[in-house]
């Protein structure tokens, strides 16, 4: 191979990259090219998705229980790196979606759908609070702030799924996927603070995202 | 903390990853419960050694936890990312110790998955994936299937494959690219589980 590595597309080598079968002496050129060429990177990503299907071919084998304990025990010593804020906030920076959240929240609050007002203030613990989520049911915020969803049986359109989110300071955390056509109680690990918004969006069935990708169908501020 | 609780079972893999990025250990535990058996099965297939396979799986989950902020859902699904990490680690180990399994995969019969903790729907899903990939492998021309299996499960590089199969390196490169393209075409045609683009 001669010339500037950036100009040499990977061609057949993309498959070898996906299989992790590139020869040692070719790796520097391949790495240099991948760093500079989004097209080849995308091609390797596509082929990697395909090739990784091979991982499902061997019989799945339950690892020993102590491995689970070892993996989880090992996490405490490793700080998860901070999440880049701009990526979490991407959809909220879109004015149309922000307006939609605000509008839906206002409609719900003005419509008197908040079942109980948060009592008291100051340092006294707030009593459990129930918040209506329109046709999707309601959410309960426990005295400790823990969010629990109580969903009604709602059927999403074909190919879509309904997903609940807790939006706090511009960050959306996934709260749960609503099983189609089933009323459920979904406890979450999320803690709600005053001013947070609980929203439900429609997401692709097999491709939910790290954050909402569509405007909320319902959103209510606690 | 430390165990996957019922509060995480309703989340998609991407939902779990979003929480893992925020340092939620319970979300990682749930992700482990869903995918550890596949990752361990893969590591065992490559390494043929329980201890090494456990190490590979542990390192894959640890890397996933440590690098969660870099995870890009536009580039791969969370499960693919985990399996790529597992595969990479297992192949590193097998290359280092020069152990190269050569046996073919078992016939295309989906084994039952012992752990139902992620829900019966999850194991049905995994069985379906397994049948599909085994079917796709069966439909590949014989030489191409062998090439893919030696590369992916044996950890052979292209030059090593050329030497082992007594084939020109250029032929190995062309056949490998063709085999992956055929695999992709087959899996896209015969089902819809290859990630939509």
pLDDT at A165: 87
| Nearest neighbour of B75 by CB, restricted to A13, A45, A70 | A45
| 3-state SS assignment for residue A175 | strand
Reported ipTM: the value is 0.85
CA distance, residue B174 to nearest chain A CA (Å) = 6
CA distance, residue A162 to nearest chain B CA (Å) = 11
User: Nearest chain B Cα to A11, which residue?
Assistant: B177
Question: Per-residue pLDDT for A3 more than 60?
Answer: no
| Percentage, residues of chain B above pLDDT 90 | 57
| Percentage, residues of chain A above pLDDT 70 | 73
SS3 per residue for chain A: CCCCHHHCCCCCHHHHHHHCCCCHHHHHHHHHHHHHCHHHHHHHHHHHHHHHHHHHCCCCCCCCHHHHHHHHHHHCCCCCCCCCHHHHCHHHHCHHHHHHHHHHHHHHHHCCCECCCCCCCCCCCCCCEEEECHHHEEEEECCCCEEEEEECCCCCCCCEEEEEEEEECCEEEEEEEECCCCCEEEEEEEECCCCCEEEEEEEECCCCCCCCCCCCCEEEEC
Tell me if A55 and B83 make a contact (CB, 8 A cut-off). Answer: yes
How far apart are the C-alpha atoms of B133 and B45, rounded to whole Å? 15
Instruction: Determine the residue among A17, A26, A56 to mutate to test chain B binding: the one whose Cβ has the most chain B Cβ atoms within 10 Å.
Output: A56
pLDDT at A159: 78
Q: Number of A:B CB contacts under 8 A?
A: 241
Of residues A173 and A7, which shows the higher confidence score?
Answer: A173
The pLDDT-based confidence of B140 (bands split at 50, 70, 90) is: very high
Tell me the residues of chain A between 68 and 107 that have a Cβ less than 8 Å away from chain B. 68, 70-76, 78-84
Tell me if B37 and A54 make a contact (CB, 8 A cut-off). Answer: no
Question: Per-residue pLDDT for B119 more than 60?
Answer: no
| Nearest neighbour of B126 by CB, restricted to A19, A56, A71 | A56
Nearest to A195 by CA among A102, A82, A100: A102
Residue with tokens 């799945």: A60
> Pairing mode, if any, of strands A218-221 and A160-168?
unpaired
Rounded to two decimals, what is the model's pTM?
Answer: 0.67
How far apart are the C-alpha atoms of B52 and B46, rounded to whole Å? 10
Q: Given CB atoms, is A197 within the 8 Å cutoff of chain B? A: no
Of residues B166 and B106, which shows the higher confidence score?
Answer: B166
The pLDDT-based confidence of A168 (bands split at 50, 70, 90) is: confident
CA distance, residue B142 to nearest chain A CA (Å) = 16
Partners of B36 on chain A (C-beta within 8 Å) are: 62-63, 67-68
Name the DSSP letter for residue A143.
Answer: T
Tell me if A83 and B106 make a contact (CB, 8 A cut-off). Answer: no
| Nearest neighbour of A189 by CB, restricted to B8, B58, B192 | B8
Instruction: Determine the residue among B1, B8, B11 to mutate to test chain A binding: the one whose Cβ has the most chain A Cβ atoms within 10 Å.
Output: B11
CA distance, residue A22 to nearest chain B CA (Å) = 6
pLDDT digits (tens, 9 = 90+) for B3-41: 455 678 888 899 999 899 888 999 999 999 999 999 999
User: Nearest chain A Cα to B88, which residue?
Assistant: A20
pLDDT digits (tens, 9 = 90+) for B147-189: 999 999 999 999 999 999 999 999 999 999 999 999 999 988 8
Lowest mean pLDDT among A145-154, A167-176, A202-211: A202-211
Average the pLDDT over B61-77 and give the result. 90
């Amino acid at each position: 191979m001669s010339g500037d590595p950036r100009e040499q597309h990977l061609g057949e080598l993309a498959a070898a990259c996906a299989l992790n079968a590139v020869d040692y002496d070719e790796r520097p050129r391949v790495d240099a090219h991948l760093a500079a060429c989004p097209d080849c990177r995308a091609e390797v990503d596509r082929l990697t998705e395909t090739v990784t299907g091979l991982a499902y071919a061997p019989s799945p084998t339950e690892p020993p229980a102590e491995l689970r304990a070892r993996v989880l025990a090992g996490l405490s010593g490793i700080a998860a790196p901070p999440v880049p804020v701009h990526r979490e906030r991407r959809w909220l920076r879109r004015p149309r979606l922000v307006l939609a959240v605000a509008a839906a929240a206002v409609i719900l609050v003005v419509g008197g759908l908040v079942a109980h007002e948060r009592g008291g203030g100051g340092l006294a613990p707030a009593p459990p609070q129930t918040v209506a989520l329109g046709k999707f049911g309601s959410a309960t915020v426990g005295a400790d702030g823990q969010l629990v969803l109580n969903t009604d049986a709602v059927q999403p359109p074909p190919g879509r799924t309904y997903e609940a989110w807790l939006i706090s300071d511009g960050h959306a955390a996934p709260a749960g996927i609503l099983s189609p056509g089933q009323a459920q109680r979904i406890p979450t690990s999320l803690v709600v603070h005053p001013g947070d918004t609980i929203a439900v969006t429609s997401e692709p069935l097999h491709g939910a995202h790290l954050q909402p990708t569509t405007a909320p169908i319902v959103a209510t501020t606690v | 903390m430390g165990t996957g609780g019922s509060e995480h079972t309703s989340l998609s893999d991407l939902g779990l990853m979003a929480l893992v990025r925020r340092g939620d250990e319970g979300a990682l535990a749930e992700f482990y419960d869903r995918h550890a058996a596949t990752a361990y099965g893969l590591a065992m297939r490559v390494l043929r050694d329980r201890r090494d396979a456990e190490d590979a799986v542990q390192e894959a989950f640890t890397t996933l936890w440590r690098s969660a902020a870099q995870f890009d859902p536009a580039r791969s699904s969370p499960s693919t990312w985990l399996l790529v990490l597992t595969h990479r680690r297992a192949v590193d180990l097998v290359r280092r110790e020069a152990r190269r399994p050569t046996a073919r995969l078992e016939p295309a019969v989906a084994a039952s998955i012992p752990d139902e903790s992620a829900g019966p729907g999850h194991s049905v899903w995994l069985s379906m994936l397994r049948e599909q990939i085994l079917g796709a492998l069966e439909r590949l021309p014989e030489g191409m299937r062998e090439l893919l299996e030696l590369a992916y499960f044996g950890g052979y590089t292209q030059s090593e494959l050329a030497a082992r199969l007594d084939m020109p390196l250029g032929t190995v490169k062309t056949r490998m690219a063709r085999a992956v393209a055929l695999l992709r075409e087959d899996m896209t045609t015969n089902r819809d589980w290859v990630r939509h683009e």
